[in-house]
């Protein structure tokens, strides 16, 4: 089965990174990483992006590194549904074979040893990315476009639904603050700096 996602925005498709063939088919692959400026950083945020919003997530990664010194990994999510189906199938197999060694899903395998926090942003309603929550091994923040009947510019809609780069950046810093890895008292200034009302 092949499907084609059509978006209303032109953007440059990056070449397929080497070694990502399996991840593309299974629904998720690591696209890009940046390093933290501090060696004391205990947590490494993981940013999930889909479709055209992947570009916003990459922009957020750049902002986190340049403005806040926080290194992150960006994952391109090609299908939350595919990830969720495979995780559920593995979970079912494990429950029906209690005396055999447990299997691990692709998601559990690639995220093994990764603490997060995990921030997902897409043009989808939150429920789409939320379907994998059970198997994400850390705090999981989902940003999405819950609502309908709105017509405006892309940038205004992305800000309204809080899925743009600035909102991904803020969600990441808030998640770190919730784990005492970012100074919570700086969050009001971050909101102001990012232009988030």
Whole-angstrom Cα distance, residue 124 to residue 76? 14
What pLDDT shows up at residue 150?
77
What pLDDT shows up at residue 56?
96
H or E segment and range at residue 29: strand 28-33
Whole-angstrom Cα distance, residue 70 to residue 40? 11
Helix (H, G, I), strand (E, B) or coil at 84: helix
What pLDDT shows up at residue 59?
97
Tens place of pLDDT for every residue, the chain, 197 residues?
777 777 777 777 778 889 999 999 999 999 999 998 877 778 899 999 998 999 999 999 999 999 999 999 999 999 999 999 999 999 999 999 999 999 999 999 999 999 899 999 999 999 999 999 999 999 999 999 988 777 888 889 999 999 999 999 999 999 999 999 999 999 999 999 999 98
């Amino acid at each position: 089965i092949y499907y084609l996602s059509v978006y209303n925005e032109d953007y440059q498709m990056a070449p397929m990174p080497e070694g990502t063939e399996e991840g593309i088919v299974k629904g998720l692959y690591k696209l890009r990483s940046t390093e933290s400026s501090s060696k004391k950083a205990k947590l490494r945020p993981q940013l999930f992006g889909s479709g055209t919003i992947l570009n916003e997530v990459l922009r957020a990664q750049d902002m986190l590194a340049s403005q806040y010194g926080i290194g992150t990994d960006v994952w391109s999510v090609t299908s939350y549904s595919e990830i969720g189906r495979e995780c559920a199938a593995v979970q079912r197999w494990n429950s029906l074979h209690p005396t055999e060694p447990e299997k691990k899903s692709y998601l559990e395998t690639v995220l093994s040893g990764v603490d997060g926090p995990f921030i997902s942003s897409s043009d989808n309603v939150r429920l789409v990315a939320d379907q994998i929550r059970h198997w994400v091994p850390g705090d999981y923040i989902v940003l999405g476009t819950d609502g309908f009947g709105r017509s405006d510019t892309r940038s205004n809609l992305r800000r309204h639904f809080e899925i743009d780069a600035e909102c991904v950046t803020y969600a990441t810093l808030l998640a770190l603050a919730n784990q005492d890895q970012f100074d919570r008292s700086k969050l009001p200034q971050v909101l102001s700096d990012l232009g988030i009302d």
